[in-house]
Structure 1
Amino acid sequence: MASIDYYLGTISPYCYLAGLRLEEIAEKHGATITYKPVDLMQMFDRTGGIRPKDRHVSRQEYRAQELTRWAAHMGVPFHLNPAHWPTNMAPSSYAVIAAQNAGGGDLGGLVHAFTRATWAEQRDIAEDSVIRDILQAHGFDPDLADKGLFVGAETYGRNLEDAVEAGAFGAPFYVVRETGQRFWGQDRLDFLERHLASL
């Protein structure tokens, strides 16, 4: 059974566009997923990337075109300039970490819901009420929003170190532990599936 480390950003538009395809692929091939929320901006700083606001205008313009194209291709609602972006990723990331530790709910759905809230629903995922609502909607105790904050902060920081060590530099980023194969971007999920099928 393969194990996938999924490095994600709860405010990443490309994590939103990935939808639940990773979960579907993992189920098909009997793989497990460990969700590892990271601070994307620090990841960019650590791995030679450039924060979106600091990128050359040509890169910003291309990103806007590409995101719009992909949303249309995937047939999902999308706001190119959402009302609450960027926002603080830490509270929603802590919620994902707490939910993963607690178990019992739909973790993949929870992660996707945070990204969808930002890019499709114009909600601020740094707000406690939004986090609690999304937790409850996916089968988790909404009080997880307030529990395990120290552990959440510690794990969130460790996830960044793990990401850098594993060779991740963006999100979504998928690493198959058994083989060390890395896949960057929601448009590489087909390659991830082919790799899992070959194991």
Structure 2
Amino acid sequence: MAHIDYYFVAISPWAYLAGNRLEQLAAKHGATITYKPADFARVFAGTGGKMLNERHPARQDYRLQELRRAQVKTGLPLNIHPAHFPANPAPASYAIIAAQAAGGGDVGALVQNVLRACWAEDKHIADDAVIRDCLSRAGFDPGLADTGLLSGAMTYEANAEEAINKGAFGSPFYIVDGSEKFWGQDRLDDLDAYLAGNL
């Protein structure tokens, strides 16, 4: 059985545009997933990348065009200029980490709820009420937003260090069985083919 480590930042539009395809592929191929929200400021710094506001205007402009095209291709609702972006992804990431550890709900749905809150619902993902709502709708105790903050912060930083050490450098990033790497939601077809043994 294949295992997928999924590294992402909880405010990534590209992770949002993956929708639930990762979960569908995992179910199709009998694979398991570990969700690893990470501090991508550290990941970028450790792998030669730059935060969005540090990139050349030409790269920023191209990103907006790609987002528009990706939205059309996926059919997912997307506001390319959301009301609360950038926002601190750490509190939502801590909640995702706590929920995964606690169990009892759907972690994939929780991740999608957080991403959708920013990119389709114009909500502030660092707001406690928004995080609690995302948890509740994914079948988790909303009180997880208030527990495990220290361990969540430690795991969040550890995920960033692990991402750097394993060669992940963007969001979303999928690593199968510790070695086969796929960067971006537009590589999910390749991930599908790999899990099927065709790539």
User: 1:191 — aligned with what?
Assistant: 190
| Aligned position for 1:148 | 148
Of 34-43 and 136-145, deviating more is: 34-43
TM-score normalised by the chain length of structure 1: 0.98
Please list every run of 5 or more consecutive structure 1 residues that lacks an aligned counterpart in the other structure: none
CA distance in 1, matches of 2:28, 2:72: 26
Q: Which position in structure 1 is the counterpart of 2:33?
A: 33
For structure 2, list consecutive stretches of 5 or more residues without a partner in the other structure. Answer: none
Cα distance per residue 1:144-170 (max 9 Å; x no partner) = 000111110110010001100110000
Aligned length: 198
Q: CA deviation at 1:139?
A: 0.3
Q: What pairs up with 1:100-119 in 2 under 5 angstroms?
A: 100-119=100-119
- SS of the equivalent of 1:10 reads coil
Letter in 2 for 1:193: D
Cα deviations across residues 125-156 of structure 1 (Å, max 9, x unaligned)?
10000000110111000000001111101100
What percentage of aligned pairs have identical amino acids?
A: 58
Root-mean-square deviation (CA, aligned residues, Å) is: 0.9
* Deviating 4+ runs (over 6 angstroms): none
Give the C-alpha shift of residue 42 in structure 1.
Answer: 2.0
Mapped to 1, the partners of 2:189 and 2:73 lie a distance apart of 15
Q: Does structure 1 residue 96 correspond to structure 2 residue 93? A: no
The one-letter code matched in structure 2 to 1:163 is A
What is the deviation of 1:31?
0.3
Once the two structures are TM-superposed, the CA of residue 41 in structure 1 deviates from its matched residue by 2.0
The amino acid across from 1:71 in the alignment is Q
Secondary structure at the counterpart of residue 196 of structure 2: helix
